[in-house]
């Protein structure tokens, strides 16, 4: 019965070729591209715009009125990713592992936000056999992350902050602060 309901929903919204898992709830006010792949324990808000070649996998919660543009990958890898309401995630962006994004945020194109890291301290074992760890990344409300930014594991970006294009964020960013560079440093307050 559940499979029949999923096929009906896909036909109703013109998503016949979508790969949408059985545990995904869809809102009739959302637009989801036919090439989107949404699988796992996914909670989707209302009025979403999910464009071409987007992958949302594993354990993810997305708020209302969120825009996810082309070629975005959101994959929790056994952790949890939460995206608040009214967020824009621009093209070619990757969110991996443990990430929390607040409401009213802008994420620029080609941004990488990875809430995890490989373990590497044991010199006698190859790095790819040593496992992973995750401290997680928290991005508070009303944050603008520019294009081509990298946000590293363990970082907390405070409310109302701006991360300039091309920055590599390795440390916490205070609220209402503008940072830039690699590694990102405070330029001024907003």
Torsion of CA 16, 44, 32, 86, to 10 degrees: 170
**Do residues 46 and 63 touch, judged by C-beta distance below 8 A?**
no
CA distance 91 to 73: 10
Query: What's the token pair of residue 62?
Result: 């997305």
CA distance 164 to 108: 10
Radius of gyration of the chain from its Cα atoms, rounded to whole angstroms? 18
* Catalytic residue selected from 7, 31, 118, 156: 118
The yes-or-no answer on residue 7 being catalytic is no
**Do residues 48 and 31 touch, judged by C-beta distance below 8 A?**
yes
CA distance 91 to 183: 23
Catalytic positions, written as ranges: 118
């Amino acid at each position: 019965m559940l499979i029949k309901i999923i096929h009906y929903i896909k036909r109703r919204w013109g998503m016949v070729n979508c790969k949408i898992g059985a545990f995904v709830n869809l809102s009739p006010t959302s637009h989801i591209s036919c090439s989107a792949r949404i699988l796992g324990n996914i909670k989707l808000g209302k009025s979403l715009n999910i464009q071409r070649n987007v992958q949302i996998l594993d354990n993810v919660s997305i708020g209302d009125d969120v825009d996810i543009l082309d070629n975005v990958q959101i994959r929790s890898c056994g952790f949890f990713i939460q995206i608040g309401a009214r967020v824009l995630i621009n093209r070619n962006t990757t969110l991996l592992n443990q990430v929390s994004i607040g409401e009213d945020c802008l994420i620029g194109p080609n941004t990488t936000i990875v809430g995890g890291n490989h373990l590497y301290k044991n010199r006698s074992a190859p790095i790819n056999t040593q496992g992973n760890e995750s401290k997680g990344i928290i991005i508070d409300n009303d944050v603008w992350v520019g294009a081509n930014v990298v946000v590293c594991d363990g970082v907390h970006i405070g409310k109302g902050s701006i991360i300039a294009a091309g920055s590599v964020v390795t440390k916490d960013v205070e609220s209402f602060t503008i940072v830039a560079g690699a590694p990102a440093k405070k330029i001024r307050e907003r």
